[in-house]
Amino acid sequence: MRRHPAHWVAFGFGSGLAPRAPGTVGTLWAWAAFLMLDPWLSAGAWAAVIAAAFGFGVWAATRTAQGLQLADPGAIVWDEVVAFWLVLWLLMPAPWWAQLAAFALFRYFDAAKPGPVRWADGLFKIRPTAGAPPTIGWRQGLGIMLDDLVAAACALLLIAVWVRLWNT
């Protein structure tokens, strides 16, 4: 983490270095950070923070992946952070159990990568060429961030359908 400032961000300020389930730990860090910041940020401020965090995340994920020489290192969890902030921003105010359900849905879509999440995950994957080392660039950083946004969208869609059915 000390080699480049981008690593601090990409590793979720250390949460991505968890020995087990770094994506889950990063999402838990995102949840705690959201709850701490939410009283101070308006809806418009959250929109700006999430947009800036996404752009900054593409840069941080790219630099960290290049530094590690891995196209999508599991320790990069900033993608989970930004995506779960989006889920919570659109969900709140919500009781703790609804937040927990959103957490579980997001983690399912992010980890299992069904349908559209798998598609988004594969969009910017490096396709190996014979005898050449992989060139990791901004496309891989964007890909790292993008599939989690799609996982967030899938979780939000299921939540919206559930709320609609519940209120009918």
43-80 pLDDT per residue, tens: 999 999 999 999 999 999 999 999 998 888 999 999 99
| Element of type H or E holding 110 | helix 96-112
pLDDT at 138 over 80: yes
d(C-alpha 12, C-alpha 60), whole Å: 10
Rounded percentage of the chain residues whose pLDDT exceeds 70: 96
pTM of the model: 0.94
Q: Which residue has the tokens 């900054």?
A: 56
Write down how long the chain is.
Answer: 168
Tokens matching residue 104: 């579980």
Measured from the Cβ of residue 44, the count of other Cβ atoms closer than 10 Å reads: 8
Task: Residue 117: name the closest of 90, 155, 85, 61 by CA.
Answer: 155
